[in-house]
Amino acid sequence: MSGAETRHGAIRIWFFALPANIRGFIWILLSTFSFMAMVMLVRHLSDRYNTGELAFWRASLGLLLAPIFLRRGQSLFRTRQFDLHLVRNSLHFVSVAGWFYAISTINLSVGMSLQFTVPLFTIVLAILILRERVDAARGSASMPRAGSRLPSASPVS
């Protein structure tokens, strides 16, 4: 066993020994930093590359990470609804390209504030497309978060 494998095993043991809420907090921090780094890179590179190219390279990075998930087996990638996954991923690519375009053209603080309204759109689209049943508890859970962002997104400011 090499030194790198030993360190990786020690980190893994340390991480999984932590309480679940602390592990979740670490994942949230890592997600926040990677999200922030992506926004900064898109903002910086949008002068030299168009939106489609930036979205392509983001998707390519995801393909580079696929072998990590393949270690768990190919069953992770099997589906009976390939056509729906194809539509979903196509819409996701267009959405990412639109988001990258917005990052490169509008005030960054407004763009990030609008990002907090995503749960509202998700709820509405889940009701309309997936026929999801949203009760008062689920619907009201995202109202304070999204509602607190609307004043900062007003065109008057």
pTM, full prediction: 0.68
Domain-wise residue ranges, the chain: 3-153
Angle at 155 between CA 99 and CA 120, to 5 degrees: 50
The tokens for 66 are 């696929």
The tens place of each residue's pLDDT in the chain, 157 residues long, gives 566 667 778 888 999 999 999 999 999 999 889 888 888 899 999 999 999 899 999 888 888 888 877 777 777 777 888 888 888 889 888 988 988 998 889 887 777 777 777 777 888 888 888 888 888 877 777 666 656 655 555 555 4
Q: Percentage of the chain with pLDDT > 70?
A: 86
Nearest alpha carbon to residue 152 among 100, 103, 114, 118: 114
Q: What is the DSSP string of 50-93?
A: -HHHHHHHHHHHHHHHHHHHHTT-GGGG--S-HHHHHHHHHHHH
Gap between the Cα atoms of 94 and 55, Å rounded: 8
Gap between the Cα atoms of 153 and 114, Å rounded: 6
Angle at 124 between CA 157 and CA 76, to 5 degrees: 115
Gap between the Cα atoms of 67 and 73, Å rounded: 10
pLDDT recorded at residue 27: 93
| 85 Cβ contact list (under 8 Å, min separation 6) | 79
- The strand ranges marked E within the chain are none
pLDDT recorded at residue 46: 92
pLDDT recorded at residue 25: 95
pLDDT recorded at residue 11: 86
Nearest alpha carbon to residue 43 among 32, 51, 34: 51
